[in-house]
């Protein structure tokens, strides 16, 4: 038996949903991940391309990943009236901010006008690892935020142990009218409320499925359904029950199911809302 045949067990949500933050280029088998996403009902995916790494690996290969996923589904008789719509988030991660040069900025500007691009990101501050000096992180964040304003694009923001300063920068320069997604939110309700007041959407990843993540669960409770998003950050942040394994877009269904349980809503309603919200912010769809 060909091991590529999709074999997954995921929550059946009763409606299609979206993974608003993945790294398809970091997966061993992007086409297989798209195939399994269809089986799981994940029909909208945003994948991140970092300009300082190999962004063209995503821009150039995306079409072939989708075509291969279709071929595999045809081979196994998997119904697929469509494959997931894939949007691209392009920018420079705070880890790589020291590589944000004028040349990098020019490349980002060129890539950002691709019609498949839905946002500038992931941009922000990471004071946990400090892989780039903090001054470089601030400059890269501010520059890319300015570009998003200029191009009329939303932003996908990464903040780790830097929420106070990150929020201050967003206040000073303004959240783009096109929108703002706070990626992989793991803070409490007070921080969530500050970001919501600024017009941001809040995206939750695998940690929301952890039993001892009470502070994240409290934040979920204050996020209105029309500002709620779900993501995998695959191959990272794998949800329960698959912790310890490489994450993939199909498993956003576990996060959506957890969000529904916390909010006391049906999985189908939360799945539909997160898909609708994703399309509203990142574009695409009908």
CATH, residue 257: 3.20.20.140
pLDDT band of 181, cuts 50, 70, 90: very high
> What pLDDT, on a 0 to 100 scale, did the predictor assign at position 4?
55
DSSP string, the chain: --TTS--------SS-EEEEEE-GGGSS-HHHHHHHHHHHTEEEEEEEEETTS-HHHHHHHHHHHHHHHHHHHHHHT---SS--EEEEEEE--GGGGGG--HHHHHHHHHHHTSTTEEEEEEEEEETTT-SS-HHHHHHHHHHHHHHHHHHT--EEEEEES-HHHHHHHHHHH---TT-EEE-S--S-HHHHHHHHHTT-EEEE-GGGGSTT-HHHHHHHHHS-GGGEEE---BTSSPPTTSTTS---GGGHHHHHHHHHHHHT--HHHHHHHHHHHHHHHH----
Q: In this structure, is residue 1 part of a structural domain?
A: no
Q: Inform me whether the pLDDT recorded for 7 exceeds 70.
A: no
Q: Inform me whether the pLDDT recorded for 3 exceeds 80.
A: no
Query: What span, in angstroms and rounded, lies between the C-alpha atoms of 281 and 100?
Result: 25
> What pLDDT, on a 0 to 100 scale, did the predictor assign at position 1?
36
> What pLDDT, on a 0 to 100 scale, did the predictor assign at position 284?
86
Q: In this structure, is residue 7 part of a structural domain?
A: no
Percentage of the chain beyond pLDDT 70 is 97
Q: In this structure, is residue 4 part of a structural domain?
A: no
The tally of domains found in the chain comes to: 1
Q: In this structure, is residue 2 part of a structural domain?
A: no
Q: In this structure, is residue 30 part of a structural domain?
A: yes
Residue 98: which domain range?
Answer: 17-282
> What pLDDT, on a 0 to 100 scale, did the predictor assign at position 77?
79
Q: In this structure, is residue 8 part of a structural domain?
A: no
Q: In this structure, is residue 119 part of a structural domain?
A: yes
> What pLDDT, on a 0 to 100 scale, did the predictor assign at position 75?
86
> What pLDDT, on a 0 to 100 scale, did the predictor assign at position 129?
94
> What pLDDT, on a 0 to 100 scale, did the predictor assign at position 105?
97
> What pLDDT, on a 0 to 100 scale, did the predictor assign at position 57?
87
pLDDT band of 83, cuts 50, 70, 90: confident
pLDDT band of 56, cuts 50, 70, 90: confident
Q: Which of 39, 46, 38, 41 is nearest to 19 (CA)?
A: 46
Q: Mean pLDDT in the chain?
A: 95
pLDDT band of 97, cuts 50, 70, 90: very high
pLDDT in tens, 235-272: 999 999 999 999 999 999 999 999 999 999 999 999 99
Q: Inform me whether the pLDDT recorded for 2 exceeds 80.
A: no
Q: In this structure, is residue 203 part of a structural domain?
A: yes
> What pLDDT, on a 0 to 100 scale, did the predictor assign at position 273?
98
pLDDT in tens, 112-150: 999 999 999 999 999 999 999 999 999 999 999 999 999
pLDDT band of 82, cuts 50, 70, 90: confident
pLDDT in tens, 182-237: 999 999 999 999 999 999 999 999 999 999 999 999 999 999 999 999 999 999 99
């Amino acid at each position: 038996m060909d091991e590529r045949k999709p074999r997954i067990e995921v929550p059946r949500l009763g409606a299609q949903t979206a993974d608003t933050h993945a790294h398809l280029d970091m997966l061993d088998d992007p086409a297989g991940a798209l195939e399994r996403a269809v089986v799981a009902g994940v029909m909208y995916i945003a994948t991140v391309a970092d300009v300082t790494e190999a962004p063209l690996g995503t821009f150039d290969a995306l079409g072939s990943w989708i075509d291969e996923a279709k071929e595999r589904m045809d081979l196994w008789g998997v119904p697929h009236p469509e494959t997931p719509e894939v949007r691209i988030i392009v920018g420079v991660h705070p880890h790589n901010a020291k590589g944000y040069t004028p040349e990098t900025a020019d490349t980002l500007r060129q890539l950002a006008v691709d019609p498949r691009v839905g946002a500038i990101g992931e941009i922000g501050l990471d004071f946990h690892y400090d892989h780039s000096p903090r001054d470089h992180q601030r400059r890269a964040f501010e520059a890319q935020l300015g570009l998003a304003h200029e191009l009329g694009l939303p932003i996908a923001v990464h903040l780790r142990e830097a929420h106070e300063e990150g929020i201050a920068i967003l206040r000073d320069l303004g959240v783009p009218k096109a929108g703002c997604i706070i990626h992989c939110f793991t803070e409490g309700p007070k921080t969530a409320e500050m970001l919501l007041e600024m017009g941001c959407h809040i995206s939750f990843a695998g940690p929301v499925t952890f039993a001892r993540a009470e502070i994240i669960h409290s934040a979920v409770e204050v996020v209105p359904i029309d500002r709620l998003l779900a993501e995998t950050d695959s191959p990272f942040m794998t949800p329960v029950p698959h912790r310890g394994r490489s994450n993939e877009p199909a498993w956003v269904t576990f996060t959506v199911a957890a969000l529904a349980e916390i909010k006391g809503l049906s999985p189908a309603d939360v799945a539909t809302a997160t898909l609708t919200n994703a399309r509203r912010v990142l574009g695409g769809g009908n």
